[in-house]
Structure 1
């Protein structure tokens, strides 16, 4: 049992820690940088934990090649990031008052908050870590299309984080990460030799639906939203306008190409089950 002095000392340390976080780590000017560092550190932590859990809990993990184990761990990072960023993006776009509230007078294209900037910073940290691994092990973790996708995402998210411009549309695009866990699960099932299982088939159907909603229909809605608020988009810096208009357009073309491959793969899977 702790005596009163120890309790008071513990509370003092807690107060000092809280003050340090509020005044320094989460101070508005430092949020972009601390969140980016936090995103990189979190990626490293998830990678190491996945390696540790895989080595001790999955017999098949030890039979994988070195590159298969690296990709297994890398996909765990992208899955955790996808869950985090999708949850936060859905909240900020559709649930919070930041972009839908009427109490704001400034254009919707320049609205931001400490929370939204922090979330984008974590995502920037992830993209830095992931593109670093993709380039280091190129092309084992993805070809040129992945490099282009990540570079465009990194530039757009980093600009939105640092400038505070276009955060609404950045989060709309980031909602498309909701398809990532399904894509990664498909790879896990394939690597584990479960390509003919019912779980593999169900996962393929889920990917098809999620991709259609999050990467096709949502992008159409975003372009329509940009059209309705184009007068506010024009108030952004020139580089910000280019990112809002060009990056989603390029990503949507890539999404359509990948969607065609998903449909082709789903047809093959369905044909094998008949």
Structure 2
């Protein structure tokens, strides 16, 4: 059953959309526009920087608010499929607003951002649709908010790209960020998988009576497959770096 969103819910989504659509890029340009690397960068680099800056701001907000809802709204967790939480609805609408705004921003910059933009836009549209449906039906709210904490690793993924753009790929900061990125990716994207699927298994009778809404968690399965592949690539990169450093140390000793 569809449940009409309240005015407060609509306000959260609209504020999020308006900020990330119109103010985030301006804030990025004001914050970094006076720096030489930003001023001298190509148009495509500056535009992607602005997109990733907004992405990191959202990732911080989404992670922080999701953790607060998980900690403070314990009653919702008693029923992970139908548990009601006003805080969870607000968090998901904020993220949906960001995803729609960022999609429009990437369409504006599509010429300079390249082919990878298509996959990001597809991801954004599917994720926003799932969050809106779950919010309107008030289904899976605790589990979707729990998944939303995965945005934590996005901050370090964006940092990695920004450090490369600043020619800092050989610095210790880049290496430390890479280690934290791998750890956070495992912590918030890989480690929670068993818990989420166990929650569905424990409430399987309820789940199979949910009608067409039961198909939407399939998007989460696809995302888990992608996250597993990405984590595999991250670990391969770390192993290559460690081997290269080991060879360099061995060469110095000889």
> TM (normalized to structure 2)?
0.86
Q: Which of these residues, 50, 69, 72, is aligned with residue 28 of structure 2? A: 50
Once the two structures are superposed, the pairs formed by residues 1-274 of structure 1 within 5 Å of their partners are 29-43=6-20, 44-56=22-34, 58-100=35-77, 107-138=79-110, 140=113, 142-236=116-210, 238-244=211-217, 246-274=218-246
Sort the Cα spacing of 1:230 and 1:92 in 2 relative to 1 into closer, same or farther, 3 A: farther
| Unmatched tracts of structure 1, length 5 or more | 1-26, 102-106
CA distance in 2, matches of 1:165, 1:255: 23
CA distance in 2, matches of 1:113, 1:221: 20
Deviation, 1:122, is 1.0
Deviation, 1:173, is 1.6
Give secondary structure in 2 for the equivalent of 1:196. Answer: coil
Range with greater deviation from structure 2 (191-200 or 139-148)? 139-148
Deviation, 1:28, is 5.8
Deviation, 1:159, is 0.9
Deviation, 1:47, is 1.8
CA contact (8 A) 1:31 1:114 kept: no
CA distance in 2, matches of 1:110, 1:239: 15
CA contact (8 A) 2:135 2:141 kept: yes
CA distance in 2, matches of 1:108, 1:248: 15
Deviation, 1:211, is 1.1
CA contact (8 A) 1:32 1:161 kept: no
CA distance in 1, matches of 2:87, 2:139: 14
Range with greater deviation from structure 2 (127-136 or 189-198)? 127-136
| Unmatched tracts of structure 2, length 5 or more | 247-254
CA distance in 2, matches of 1:54, 1:269: 30
Deviation, 1:235, is 4.1
CA distance in 2, matches of 1:188, 1:145: 20
CA contact (8 A) 2:77 2:142 kept: no
CA contact (8 A) 1:94 1:100 kept: no
